[in-house]
Structure 1
Amino acid sequence: MIAGRKKILVVDDDQDIREIILYVLESEGYQVSGLDNGLAVVETVAQIRPDILLLDVQLGDSDGRDICRELKGTLATQEIPIIMISANHGWQGIREKECNADDFLAKPFDIIELLAHVRRYAA
């Protein structure tokens, strides 16, 4: 591992989207990990201590808002920036109303938009 590389955890149950995000972020020099479900997110965050979490709102087995609320309500993880992602554009109010997420990215998004959101919290 290269010292100083920001660690990003990507949680999305859509394999294609998850793999594209992982590829793009790794190509930009980030250290990336991915999960395809919400069951192990809290445990994985505790283990790898990511600098940023990209978290899908609607996971097949879990609600990303519940995971976000749990992480933001825990002293050890509350400072980790969480960028919620969703195909439902109505979720844009999620930051303030639902779970105190730091940011929101609506699917579909382009690579430039993804990187702009990530760089905002990687600085």
Structure 2
Amino acid sequence: MKEKILILDDDKDILEILSLILAESGYEILSLTNGKRVIEEIKEFNPNLILMDVMLGDMDGFEICKGIKENIQHKHLPVIIISASCHLEESFGKMGAPDDYLAKPFDIEVLLSKVEKHLRT
């Protein structure tokens, strides 16, 4: 069975690129352009990992991540935040923090390495 990755990004071009790269690498993908239904989609899709942008239009990726991590059913689900900001280290270790981050622009090998790392732990 393929491992499942939920991708959340409001930039449709980035969403399409990430989906294509990860699908070609053998993952089953569900892509979302906003976080309004993310908890419901997690329950339905049952992903093994979430990859999401930190800036989601009118929503904050850190707040969505916190909501996921504070949910007892999903708190162990790995979340990788994607951001053009390089000042994310201070958020790690806090309650509801993501498990990792990917800097934009991202290198495909780094993306795949981080995904594999969190799927194997």
Percent same amino acid among aligned pairs? 40
Q: Does 1:116 align with 2:104?
A: no
- CA-atom RMSD, angstroms? 1.2
Partner of 2:57: 60
Gaps (5+ residues) in structure 1?
none
CA change 1:92–1:105 in 2 (3 A) is: farther
The count of residues paired between Structure 1 and Structure 2 equals 120
Q: 2 CA distance for matches of 1:97 and 1:121?
A: 18
Residue 60 of structure 1 aligns with an amino acid whose one-letter code is G
Q: Deviation per CA, 1:67-90, whole angstroms, max 9, x where unpaired?
A: 111110111110100001111111
Residue 53 of structure 1 aligns with an amino acid whose one-letter code is I
Match among 91, 98, 101 for residue 104 of structure 1: 101
Q: Contact 1:95/1:104 (CA < 8 Å) preserved in 2?
A: no
Gaps (5+ residues) in structure 2?
none
Q: Does 1:77 align with 2:103?
A: no
The SS at the match of 1:90 is coil
Extract structure 1 runs of 4+ deviating beyond 3 A: none
CA change 1:52–1:122 in 2 (3 A) is: same
